[in-house]
Structure 1
């Protein structure tokens, strides 16, 4: 079929409208004419006959095969506008009309966290990479334009570490690699456990490879195998130990943009609740302007946050509690005295916790989200409770992907 692409859909594929329904064509842009075989509403390998003026040359040698960075062929201006449109559309579906600012861009080469899959080839070599588009097939990568260059430089050493975890044919190790203030932090998942897990010999092999690579810490599914230095991260004035497998925003630039807007929104409040606080991404910057009640389900995250309290001066008091806010949301009584609330939940949103806000004295709520759809759903709850969504700022934390994050400010 020969088709005209009408728009780019929410997952980043181009869409052509046909009498038989929409046809999705990956790696295409609005206005392009494409030709290819259509199966079940998809044209998997479109030949582009007419090119959009917004198309640019991709920067990665793995583009088109690697499943990541699938929008790097799109010029920056219309690409960032499209991300903003995804937020506008999600809000509109909940009948919410508000100011949506321009998308905050991030630079290439700034991502400090990667999940690298490891496989052994038939010739015995170990390769690291990412999944192919809509496939379990591994695409070995030699570089990554979104990653911090220090992570890319470590790829050969990381492959040696990964080799130790390929003991069992059913193991499919993933190296969750973070660049911390103290160097590389690696947590490995996907190890076959039914056969007894990783043998002692292989654990020693992994530890030797990690030491040779000057890795700060090596862990397996959260269990520390070796730690030369405690990996730490900086949140505002505080230096915080990073728990094994702990959550951390992927790009410092994006984190800074979100933190800046949250702190600015709550200024003037004497006490702020930071819900789904993790290890304190927002807690410590917020504590420069108000006392903070912090809560998160991760006991390890709260323990790390408490350790970080002693690392900085000039902060207001911080109280931290390990609590599952999905099972036990903080009630208005628990939030007594909080004049502002910041929440940064997982992709599922925070519908039950949001419902508790109505009967608090908070006059400002800041919602940080990695999912515009669940944010819009929760925003509708706040609006129906008497809040006004003042502004929303999209943040392009995951460069050249369909993923968009945001910060929204509500006032009662």
Structure 2
């Protein structure tokens, strides 16, 4: 380890400040461009000791758990609470612009659709039982240390208000001191808690969880590795008037506000289409909305998510026909010959993107595509494949739903 003084040049893609040097970049968390800081350096990582020049874009963080002086350690849930809105929003939009430029793409990129505090309805906590109490919070950045939280400004008030209830249920389920995860989803009927990584509960733990939940209010369902332990109320989400019960721990957009913004862009682009394929459809975030105006074929590899979509479509009023197909689109993308019956395609893949599927789309005659992505790098790769196949990018909109983090969503609209 060495001590040196550096000036921060820019923010890296992970949100750390980056200082240039003769032997390569140094990454310094919790710093901003233009700041001069003394750091303790280990290889390419620096820890701030003191700041001699602070950025005018630096603001006080919203959460006492944030930063090197955070309560109980540095919570790794956020990385940019110290940046002004202007700097932070430019950083998020820049992640999308830069990724596109790296593939030679320069489409119109709209201003960032911003996220606000208290919007996150889906949060993944880490928990661990200790001799004194159950810890519930987020891992410290680059560490297995759990920062036990008492508040969380990004999360919905309905989640924050029930942190003690979540702790009590987690404590009833824990059998040892190993860390485990709990995905908390706020639904219309209460919190949906999905536990993973904890040892399979025995009869004693099952009874304890049941007794605990029955004493509490606002808990819709508790599951362990997909198995329902107790379900006082079926968890329900509203996809534009269609009620959907998502599978335990299944993928749901992290904020309703971002989901609505994405859906508005997709639906506006598909307003004149008659038959649409929704690829990587999940539980129907887009498919069920699109079905108000067009026939939809939803394709998804997760059987439980597809079952939730199918059930919702069958019990909804006023929808055009919705068909479903279980299919691993990474191994078996829809071929160009299969795509010819559709006049539009929507795809919203995991972070790995949809490379092979885009190669088939590029060979197809599908006129309209809406690409939704949580990873600007793989989105840029996929769009470069589509543009090489004759598609024009009408526009790209970056969307924030992971406030004060380095993650950003984007919706790209294309025409053949």
Structure 1 and Structure 2 fold alike (TM over 0.5): yes
CA contact (8 A) 2:37 2:48 kept: no
Partner residue in 2 for 1:271: 275
Partner residue in 2 for 1:45: 48
Bigger Cα displacement from structure 2, 160-169 vs 291-300: 160-169
Partner residue in 2 for 1:147: 155
Cα distance in 2, alignment partners of residues 398 and 307 from structure 1:
29
CA contact (8 A) 2:129 2:176 kept: no
CA contact (8 A) 2:129 2:179 kept: no
C-alpha root-mean-square deviation of aligned residues, in Å?
A: 1.2
Partner residue in 1 for 2:298: 294
Choose from 89, 101, 104 the match for 2:98.
89
Partner residue in 2 for 1:349: 353
Aligned to 1:38, the other structure's residue is in SS state strand
Choose from 187, 206, 211 the match for 1:208.
211
Choose from 240, 251, 261 the match for 2:244.
240
Structure 1 position 28 matched with structure 2 position 11: no
Shift of 1:199: 1.8
Shift of 1:209: 1.3
CA contact (8 A) 2:336 2:360 kept: yes
Cα distance in 2, alignment partners of residues 162 and 245 from structure 1:
15
Q: Any gaps of 5 or more consecutive residues in structure 2?
A: 68-73
Cα distance in 2, alignment partners of residues 298 and 41 from structure 1:
40
Shift of 1:336: 3.0
Cα distance in 2, alignment partners of residues 361 and 236 from structure 1:
30
Partner residue in 1 for 2:172: 164
Aligned to 1:198, the other structure's residue is in SS state coil
Shift of 1:125: 1.4
Shift of 1:55: 0.8
Choose from 403, 411, 416 the match for 1:399.
403
Shift of 1:17: 0.6
Cα distance in 1, alignment partners of residues 288 and 86 from structure 2:
34
Shift of 1:83: 0.9
Aligned to 2:379, the other structure's residue is in SS state helix
Aligned to 2:48, the other structure's residue is in SS state coil
Q: TM-score, normalised by structure 1?
A: 0.96
Structure 1 position 318 matched with structure 2 position 306: no
**Superposition pairs of residues 350-369 of structure 1, within 5 angstroms:** 350-369=354-373
Structure 1 position 181 matched with structure 2 position 188: yes
Query: How many aligned residue pairs are there?
Result: 406
Cα distance in 1, alignment partners of residues 18 and 265 from structure 2:
35
Tell me the alpha carbon deviations over residues 174-204 of structure 1, each in whole angstroms, 9 at most, x when there is no partner.
Answer: 1111111110111111113xxxx32210121
**Superposition pairs of residues 224-239 of structure 1, within 5 angstroms:** 224-239=228-243
**Superposition pairs of residues 7-18 of structure 1, within 5 angstroms:** 7-18=10-21
Cα distance in 1, alignment partners of residues 350 and 338 from structure 2:
21
Aligned to 1:91, the other structure's residue is in SS state helix
Shift of 1:311: 3.7
Aligned to 2:47, the other structure's residue is in SS state coil
Question: Quick one: structure 1 residues 46 and 385, their matched pair in 2 at CA, closer, same or farther if it must change by over 3 Å?
Answer: farther
Cα distance in 2, alignment partners of residues 46 and 342 from structure 1:
48
Structure 1 position 114 matched with structure 2 position 123: yes
